[in-house]
Amino acid sequence: MENKSSARIAAVGNKVKESVGRVIVGKGDVVELAIVALLCEGHLLIEDVPGIGKTMLAKSIARSLGCSFRRIQCTPDLLPSDITGTYVFNQKTGDFEFRPGPIMAQMVLADEINRATPRTQSALLEAMQEHQVTAEGETKPLPRPFMLVATQNPVELEGTFPLPEAQLDRFLLKIKIGYPTAEDDRLILSRFRQTDPLEELTPVLHAEELMQLQADSRKIHVNPDIEDYIIRLIQATRSHAAIQLGASPRAMLALYHASQALAALRGREYVIPDDVKYLAPYVLTHRIIPRMESHLRGQSAEQALNEVLGSVKVPVEEVSGTER
């Protein structure tokens, strides 16, 4: 029987895009990537200058999904317990009770994550990978679905703590929003002149439905030729002369599942090579490290990855995921 998962995912995805598009102007590709991360129950790292709309994007998605939303403003004096929560003594009951931190929400924004100390950054690792936190030796499960959206400013680096590779590897995608065009700026002025469109957003999808769509997206067919293409891409990052640290198995799985989600959003029951090639820079760039000599010559991770994408042969045979 023909699988209709992609049609349902595409229809819901268009509703979310339309809802978020009322607030985030002219960035349909960015919104689509954020929905890909949602469908994979992955985490999103947004690196861009202030005022572009990073916080607004996270809030718009949360409101469109009817999910609980909390914001963590990362600063050097932020403690791990400020994120996870802690036990406090209740004088009325005479007992210690747990007061959850902001991480105990379905969508969490960690604003300027690189301003938090490494100790505090590490408090997010367990939440990102295991969907749980540990406070005072007791493990607390996080609500589902759970997504962390983290932002960092690539320009102002004084007083910041670069994210370690182990934490970068937990982010499914790393994206940039970029400045709007002149026409988009004019539309922004028109929409925000008197009211805030964010306040008018209503849920178009509920958490339970999202979790079903997440399961459905993993049913999207991936032809063995496409699987082989993904493996060869990952292997090529590990053997490229300009790359010191190649992509991990976690990166391979991230590229695989993100390709399934993108194919479903675009209404297909199967992944094509263009899905993989389009997503590779967003999935892999932050997971590879160029060699020092390559860095000194001005070769970035993006340039090295482009060379990898150009060197690995793309499957040319048409693939189809429909059941016969």
pLDDT in tens, 276-310: 999 999 999 999 988 887 666 767 888 899 999 99
Q: In degrees, to the nearest 5, what angle opens at C-alpha 139 toward C-alphas 138 and 144?
A: 150
Within 10 Å of residue 121's Cβ, how many Cβ atoms? Answer: 24
Q: What is the pLDDT of residue 183?
A: 94
Model pTM? 0.89
Domains of the chain: 23-195 (3.40.50.300), 218-311 (1.10.8.80)
* Under 8 Å between Cβ of 288 and 304: yes
Residue 272: exposure state from Cβ atoms within 10 A (0-12, 13-18, ≥19):
buried
* Under 8 Å between Cβ of 51 and 91: no
In degrees and rounded to multiples of 5, residue 151 shows phi and psi of -125, 155
Residues whose CB falls within 8 Å of the CB of residue 68, separated by 6 or more in sequence, listed in order = 62, 105, 106, 107, 143
Residues whose CB falls within 8 Å of the CB of residue 36, separated by 6 or more in sequence, listed in order = 42, 172, 173, 258, 261, 262, 265, 279
Sites in the chain below the pLDDT cut of 70: 1-3, 157, 159, 294-296, 298, 317-324
Q: What is the pLDDT of residue 297?
A: 74
Q: Is the preceding omega at residue 145 within 30 degrees of 0, hence cis?
A: yes
Residue 139: exposure state from Cβ atoms within 10 A (0-12, 13-18, ≥19):
exposed
Q: Quick one: tokens of 154?
A: 């690539």
Q: What is the pLDDT of residue 253?
A: 97
Q: What is the pLDDT of residue 175?
A: 94
Q: In degrees, to the nearest 5, what angle opens at C-alpha 152 toward C-alphas 204 and 167?
A: 90
Cα–Cα distance for residue pair 320/324, rounded to 1 Å: 10
Cα–Cα distance for residue pair 142/131, rounded to 1 Å: 5
The torsion angle over the Cα atoms of residues 29, 30, 36 and 41, rounded to 10 degrees, is: 180
* Under 8 Å between Cβ of 261 and 172: no
Cα–Cα distance for residue pair 218/5, rounded to 1 Å: 10
* Exposure string over 229-255, b if 16+ CB within 10 A, otherwise e: bbeebbebbeebebbeebbbeebbebb
Q: What is the pLDDT of residue 323?
A: 43
Per residue in 37-69, pLDDT (tens digit) is 999 999 999 998 888 888 899 999 999 998 899
Closest CA to 308 of 272, 274, 284, 282: 284
* Under 8 Å between Cβ of 173 and 37: yes
Q: What is the pLDDT of residue 60?
A: 93
